[in-house]
Structure 1
Amino acid sequence: MRRVFTSLLILVFAGALLLFGAGLWWLHEPIPLRLAPGSQVVDLEIEPGTPASGVAEVIVASGADVPAVLLHAWFRFSGQARLIKAGSYELVPGTTPRKLLSMLVRGEEALKSVTLVEGWTFNQVRAALQKAEQLSPDTLNLAPEAIMEKLGKPGVHPEGRFFPDTYTYAKGSSDLAVLKRAARAMDKRLDAAWSLRSPDTPLKTPDEALILASIVEKETGKPSDRPQIGGVFSNRLRLGMLLQTDPTVIYGLGSKFDGNLRKRDLLADTPYNTYTRAGLPPTPIAMPGRAALLAAVQPAPTKAIYFVARGDGSSQFSASLDEHNRAVNKYIRGQ
């Protein structure tokens, strides 16, 4: 009888070892996935308050080819079932049950991204957000004024108030949340740039620096020319000269601009026509990047008050009208 009992214990122990070994093997084996045509991942949406058993069922229903009861047992056995976080996840080929649980516990949601480009206008920013993948268009039907109010900036013109960068977000996030991050980023970058301003800058406020930086951004064809362009406009402001910059005129024309800037456009007075009005325009005309912000507050020391495009992206700078006219003849008229 004792031998039979001993044999049974050995069998039970061996069975337990086999089961344990099989469990360890399974935890490190990739989960088979049922991928939709054209897709490389299985999308998971875990709603807040979903119990561990429900999470397992969602994973299987979404495309994981594994018994839900087995996943649930693993979640419970790990002791981390209650730590699983709600969110949007992506299950990629090669994911093991162990990696899956780690992803859910850490809340490593599947992130998307949208890029806001230097020199873009607010309208272009809104268009990019509307096209962004799986970003909730909560601002779609809001006027710019309403958007700025929701961002805690009532009465502030939205142009130039968002920092150009690539922003990641969880699937289903609000476009307003992305705008809020971009607005905070611009505030931070502008404050940092303003703290580094040259002692002799003609700019009186951070807002003026933002406006000038937006002009520098739109006028720059070659990145290394930014400080020089900032120097030209700073010199003009000191001398009380008209800035005479085409991008502000184009911005003031709005939808009336057809791609061809005519003489009558330069003569038509608007708040943004720097050929008819002295000083800076009332608001930025685009989103400046960090380099443009620095070029506005730390312009290159130069005597130049004119510049003209050379045709290769760079600019020719001149300290006198005669020099400028010669440069225009050479680079524009080909004389």
Structure 2
Amino acid sequence: MLRALASNALTLLIVGLFLMGGLVVWGQSQYKAEGPLESAMCLQVRSGSNMTRVSQELEDDGAISSAMIFRMAADYTDKSQQLKAGSFLVREGASMEQIIDEITSSGASTCGSEIEYRIGVTRIQTRVRELDPATLEFVEIASFDVTDEEIPAEYGQKREEADTRYRVSVAEGVTSWQVAQGLEAIEPLTGEIAEIPAEGMLAPDSYDLAPGDDRTTVLQAMQDKQQLRINAVWESRQGDLPISSPEEMLILASIIEKETGVPNERGQVASVFVNRLEQGMKLQTDPTVIYGVTKGQGTLGRGLRRSELRRATPWNTYVIDGLPPTPIANPGLASLEAAVAPEETNFVFFVADGTGGHAFAETLQEHNRNVAKWREIEAERNSSSN
């Protein structure tokens, strides 16, 4: 009798273990399997929330098949206490494993609202955007100049939301003074800028911000990135260039940056200046003259006067030989690369061609024809606008 009971108990135990093992295997398959979500959604995890609430919300929204398995998996992987507050993108068909990783990893919001401060050459623009989970594209809901007196209500609303992301974008060709002015105007930042960084030493790029970040710290991040770019590009330079240091490369790159906004022209523009340097010709580039007038503090806002073209300043390349003493703006990576790897041409002249680009020439005679064409285009535009 006792032997029979023991045998039955052992059998039940074995069956139970098999069932439990099967349950674990099934649970693991559910955890890693493609989820039921038919279209991407934005999951908002509020501060103070927990895995129980989040799992139930996900189940209610049809993003997971079982809130219980989700919670058990989070506990089993020791991630229940790593839940981050923020807005997180849950993609179509995301597995429970992927969702748990998304909401417990960096804590950086991957959807929701974003405020971008763009420091450009002529203006400092604020854009308020929101990610549309259906298209995975940001939709602009407000845009304004930070110097405007009237600020859209949407900006204030998003500023009050704890999970709103912030970033600052620095355009290629802005001066260090313009960047400093832009950062001073960005309300969520703190601290005063005691010293404006050297011209050319701020990397045009996009930088994540957080309310309360110090302006000097943000500037340092820009300097660190630009220094890394300078070091890497200088190491990759061609061996027969008429520039002898990273500093000269940076100056030349800044001139290239200011002379063209057309990406595929940078190599040709670089070749013109390299050819002129090699031949002992003056660079004769208007942006350097403008920098001598403004010192990089804002834009000129008008055409250059003849007297300014003749006036001797350290940056007037119609008067001085070779490169000016400092960069005239902060060049982007592409302009740095063009400075050390110009196209191989015989061009020594270029002028606007009316399309936003330039017409290049090897001889003065050819250049004069291009200039005449450009003046005809200018005259037609002026007559049509009057």
- Structures share fold, TM-score greater than 0.5: yes
In the alignment, does 2:279 pair up with 1:247? no
Instruction: Report the counterpart of residue 172 of structure 1 in structure 2.
Output: 211
Pairing of 1:6-25 with structure 2 (within 5 A): none
In the alignment, does 2:332 pair up with 1:289? yes
Instruction: Report the counterpart of residue 357 of structure 2 in structure 1.
Output: 314
In the alignment, does 2:193 pair up with 1:142? yes
Query: Does the C-alpha gap of structure 1 residues 138 and 85 become closer, same or farther in structure 2, counting only changes over 3 Å?
Result: farther
2:169 to 102, 115, 127: 115
Letter paired with 1:171: A
CA displacement 1:37-57 (0-9 Å, x = unmatched): xxx98987869xxxxxx989x
Query: Per the alignment, in what secondary structure is the counterpart of residue 332 of structure 1?
Result: helix
Pairing of 1:1-335 with structure 2 (within 5 A): 80=78, 83-84=81-82, 105-110=104-109, 112=165, 113-130=167-184, 136-139=188-191, 141-145=192-196, 148=197, 157=198, 159-167=199-207, 169=208, 171-172=210-211, 174=213, 175-252=215-292, 253=294, 254-255=297-298, 257-333=300-376
- Runs of at least 5 residues in structure 2 that lack an aligned partner in the other structure: 1-40, 55-72, 91-95, 111-164, 380-386
Structure 2: distance between partners of 1:45 and 1:176: 31
- How many residue pairs get matched? 302
Report % sequence identity. Answer: 37
Per mean C-alpha deviation after superposition, the further-off stretch among 276-285 and 303-312 is: 276-285
Query: Does the C-alpha gap of structure 1 residues 99 and 328 become closer, same or farther in structure 2, counting only changes over 3 Å?
Result: closer
Query: Does the C-alpha gap of structure 1 residues 282 and 143 become closer, same or farther in structure 2, counting only changes over 3 Å?
Result: farther
Letter paired with 1:205: S
Query: Does the C-alpha gap of structure 1 residues 179 and 43 become closer, same or farther in structure 2, counting only changes over 3 Å?
Result: farther
Instruction: Report the counterpart of residue 67 of structure 2 in structure 1.
Output: none
Compute the displacement of 1:91 (Å): 9.7
CA RMSD of aligned residues (A): 5.0
Compute the displacement of 1:179 (Å): 3.1
Per mean C-alpha deviation after superposition, the further-off stretch among 322-331 and 211-220 is: 322-331
Compute the displacement of 1:128 (Å): 4.5
- Runs of at least 5 residues in structure 1 that lack an aligned partner in the other structure: 1-39, 48-53, 60-73, 149-156
Query: Per the alignment, in what secondary structure is the counterpart of residue 250 of structure 1?
Result: helix
Structure 2: distance between partners of 1:266 and 1:255: 19
Compute the displacement of 1:256 (Å): 7.9
Letter paired with 2:194: A
